């Protein structure tokens, strides 16, 4: 089938140094894909854009996370684009945005319904502020919607993490599998706290998750993680996240030397 417009190979900068976080964005033809890459770079993390049909074994062993972009297609179209289902088994965090959330839900056993009308424009949204994805994003906030289909039931093992003002599912997640979905576009300026939500995913889920995984195998790192939690609690999130990435590099390097 013909690939969606915009689903072309592109990189935002050179390849990261060994040990640095690397987020791959799979492009389903969204006009906002380059904005997702920019938002990730604003988190001081390397990002690159690949075609939506890039195979899991082509992403590289150093991939830290995957983001599925939005796109103009409907899940119910005969030629609807789908990612390699093996990406959900790589053990790295995956965030589906708009069509990306629908594609993930459909592939993993959720229910996606063809929308009667296309929802386009601003919408009030409220997420679970106790979840890392929405840390610091309390109460209702304005988000940007652009979709026809909608997820009416998340896949088994997922929970609803947020709803729009009209009660529709707008955010889902499975912490056990590190798979998450947003029905809205956090990458655009029309989403009031979009930058914070992307930062929460990159820093609070991807980097911290990687540290915890290493900490289970390294008692010294486990103690450092405890200290880092104090840093975040003190409110120095931006500086703390930069330190997180640097610590992750150092401990990966130290483990490789053993």
pLDDT per position as a tens digit, 125-170: 999 999 999 999 988 999 999 877 899 999 999 999 999 998 999 9
Q: What CATH architecture applies to the domain 10-193?
A: 3-Layer(aba) Sandwich (3.40)
Active-site residue identified among 48, 126, 150, 187: 187
Q: What are the pLDDT digits (tens) for 19-60?
A: 578 999 999 999 999 999 999 999 989 999 999 999 999 999
Residue 225 has pLDDT above 70, yes or no: no
DSSP 192-216: TTHHHHHHIIIIIIIIHHHHHHHHT
Task: Please spell the DSSP secondary structure of 212-225, one letter per residue.
Answer: HHHHTT-HHHHHHH
Phi, psi angles (nearest 5°) of residue 156: -55, 135
pLDDT at residue 234, rounded to an integer = 42
Answer whether residue 196 shows pLDDT above 50: yes
| Confidence tier at 201 by pLDDT (50, 70, 90) | very high
pLDDT at 61: 87
131 belongs to the catalytic site: no
Q: What pTM was estimated for this model as a whole?
A: 0.81
Mean of per-residue pLDDT scores for the chain: 82
Model pLDDT, residue 79: 87
More confident call, 219 vs 183? 183
CB-CB contact of 180 with 154 (8 Å)? no
Q: How many residues does the chain have?
A: 258
Q: What is the mean pLDDT of residues 79-83?
A: 92
Q: Is residue 147 flagged as an active site residue?
A: no
Whether 227 has a pLDDT exceeding 90, the answer reads: no
Catalytic residue (one of 106, 131, 147, 185): 185
Per cent of the chain over pLDDT 70 is 72
Among residues 82, 91, 93, 70, the alpha carbon closest in space to that of 23 is found at: 93
What are the extents of the domains in the chain? Answer: 10-193, 208-257
Q: Is 75 helix (H, G, I), strand (E, B) or coil?
A: coil
Catalytic position from the list 98, 106, 126, 245: 98
Active site residue 190: no
pLDDT over threshold 60, residue 251: no
Least confidently predicted of 13-17, 59-63, 86-90, 117-121: 13-17
């Amino acid at each position: 089938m013909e690939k969606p417009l915009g689903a072309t190979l592109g990189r935002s900068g050179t390849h990261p140094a060994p040990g640095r976080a690397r987020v791959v964005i799979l492009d389903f033809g969204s006009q906002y894909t380059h904005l997702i890459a920019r938002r990730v770079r604003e988190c001081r993390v390397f990002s690159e854009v690949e075609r939506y049909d890039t195979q899991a074994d082509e992403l590289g062993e150093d991939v830290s996370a995957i983001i599925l972009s939005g796109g103009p297609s409907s899940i119910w179209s005969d030629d609807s684009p789908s990612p390699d289902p093996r990406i959900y088994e790589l053990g790295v965090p995956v965030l589906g945005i708009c069509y990306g959330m629908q594609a993930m839900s459909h592939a993993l056993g959720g229910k996606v319904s063809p929308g009667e009308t296309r929802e386009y424009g601003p919408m009030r949204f409220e997420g679970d502020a106790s979840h890392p994805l929405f840390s610091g994003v309390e109460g209702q906030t304005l988000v940007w919607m652009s979709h026809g289909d909608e997820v009416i039931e998340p896949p088994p093992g997922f929970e609803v993490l947020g709803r729009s003002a009209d009660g529709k599912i707008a955010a889902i997640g499975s912490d056990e599998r590190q798979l998450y979905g947003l029905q809205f576009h956090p990458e655009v300026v029309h989403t009031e706290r979009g930058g914070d939500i992307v930062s929460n995913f990159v820093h609070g889920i991807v980097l911290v998750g990687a540290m915890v995984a290493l900490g289970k195998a390294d008692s010294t790192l486990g103690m450092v993680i405890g200290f880092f939690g104090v840093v975040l609690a003190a409110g120095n999130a931006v500086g703390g996240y930069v330190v997180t990435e640097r610590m992750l590099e150092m401990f990966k390097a130290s483990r490789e030397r053993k």
